[in-house]
Amino acid sequence: MTTFESSVKTVKVARKPVYGFLADIRNFGSLVPEGKVSNFEAESDNCRFTIDGLGEVGVRQVTKKPEDTIMFASEGSTPFRFDLSIDLEESGDEDTKLKLTLRAELNMMMKMMASKPLEEGLEMVASELANHLNNRQWA
């Protein structure tokens, strides 16, 4: 397994509501970048979408550690097997630290071709996720 980690992002919201939002995979539809991802379909614990240049990807939520970690795993006929974790750490009354970790089963050729795009993509997703959470209207 090859591991990629995003930098730690700060969300100016308490950990509990951030976790609640991320625990429902349907909420990720609002984060899908236009022009790079299409055909996003989701239920509460799984989703499918197409990434331009990569193909169809299926993701299922596999574990949750309340208010701490959410783990997803690839599902179906994805280009490679992977798991993705979102780790949350409370860093104050209204601050949450967020980090994404992707572990992918890449053969040597895929590793050479996909490492940089995966690193950049993971960092982009973490940044967009933090930005979305910081700008979201919380009830």
Indicate the domain borders of the chain: 2-135
Summarised one tens digit per residue, pLDDT across range 72-81 is 999 987 888 9
Confidence category of residue 88, pLDDT binned at 50, 70, 90? very high
Tell which wins on pLDDT, 84 or 114. Answer: 84
- Region 2-135: CATH code: 3.30.530.20
Reported pTM = 0.87
In this predicted structure, the answer to whether residue 70 has a pLDDT above a threshold of 90 is: yes
Q: Calculate mean pLDDT across residues 73-94.
A: 89
**CA distance from start to end of the chain:** 40
In this predicted structure, the answer to whether residue 36 has a pLDDT above a threshold of 90 is: no
Burial of 17 (0-12, 13-18, 19+ CB in 10 A): middle
